[in-house]
Amino acid sequence: MIEFELRRTGMLIVVSAPSGGGKSTILRALLESDESLSYSVSATTRTPRECEDNGKDYHFFAEHAFKSLIDEDAFYEYAEVHGNWYGTLKSEIDAKLASGQDILLDIDVQGSLRLKETMPDCVSIFILPPSIATLEKRLRDRGSDSEEVIQRRLGNARGEVRMADRYDYILINRDLDDTIANMRNIITAQRFRSSRLMLKDAFGRVLVSSPSD
Ligand code: 5GP
């Protein structure tokens, strides 16, 4: 009897949502319930919020240090968002992917589009709030941003929503549990795409390999 085995390398799952869209809660729930998932901790020049830890939520850098990282080609993508710099460090991604981990990335629209160009088989998901009014309420309830920052984030959100069709999947976050379940379904389906898989027999012989191998 021949026993088959499926193998694959990790995949990138890029998630964008206007800030205040409930994205952090969704990502946290996914990471807590799926040990094959890990999180790409971005670099940023933004000031840490009270609840944030360096190295866990972000790697916080002064602007000159961030610019040095750009010069050293340390990023897969970087962008200026709401007046601060954010970037995906190659060092966050490479080792995890090679070890078969799937990586969740929380990045803005510009960064997502750039990453899709360099890594076309990444999965991109856009999460919409039910309305801009809901978004405004969530930003105000969070209580961590000034009026100016809130207005800037709302303005950006209106622009970002128009880019939603550039993503592989679009979800509207009306109910948190439903959105988390839908994210899990997308991730599960993507894990079984033949293009990501290598099929081996009991002797370790490769019967089918993915185009990226
Ligand atoms: P916040 O300051 O609220 O944590 O994040 C602001 C925005 O920056 C969010 O839209 C978030 O997705 C985006 N962001 C966080 N990390 C990165 C990154 O590494 N690259 C890019 N392009 N955007 C990021």
Instruction: Please list, in sequence order, all residues whose beta carbon lies within 8 angstroms of the beta carbon of residue 209, skipping any fewer than 6 positions away.
Output: 198, 199
Alpha helix (H) residue ranges in 34-108: 63-71, 90-98
Residue type, 6: L
Which ligand 1 atom sits closest to the C-alpha of 42? 19
Alpha helix (H) residue ranges in the chain: 23-33, 63-71, 90-98, 109-118, 132-142, 147-161, 176-191
Is a pLDDT exceeding 60 seen at residue 183?
Answer: yes
Strands 102-106 and 12-16, by their bridges, are parallel
Per-residue pLDDT averaged across 1-26, rounded?
A: 87
Higher pLDDT, 209 or 164: 164
Between CA 76 and CA 118 the distance in angstroms is 8
Instruction: Write out pLDDT tens, residues 112-159.
Output: 999 999 999 999 999 998 888 888 888 888 777 888 888 888 888 888
Residue 106, ligand 1, Cβ within 6 A: yes
The residue ranges of every structural domain in the chain are 4-40+101-208
Residue 111, ligand 1, Cβ within 6 A: yes
Residue 92, ligand 1, Cβ within 6 A: no
**CA separation (Å) from 83 to 47, 48, 126, 152, 175?**
11, 14, 22, 9, 31
Joined tokens for residue 194: 């033949």
Instruction: Write out pLDDT tens, residues 48-100.
Output: 998 899 999 999 999 999 999 999 999 999 999 988 999 999 999 998 888 88
Note the pTM of the prediction, 2 decimals: 0.91
Superfamily of domain 4-40+101-208: P-loop containing nucleotide triphosphate hydrolases (3.40.50.300)
C-alpha 16 to ligand 1 mean position (Å): 8
Residue 8, ligand 1, Cβ within 6 A: no
Q: Whose CA is nearest to atom 11 of ligand 1?
A: 107
Residue 160, ligand 1, Cβ within 6 A: no
On whether the CB atoms of residues 165 and 54 are closer than 8 A, the answer is no
Residues in the chain: 213
C-alpha 58 to ligand 1 mean position (Å): 10
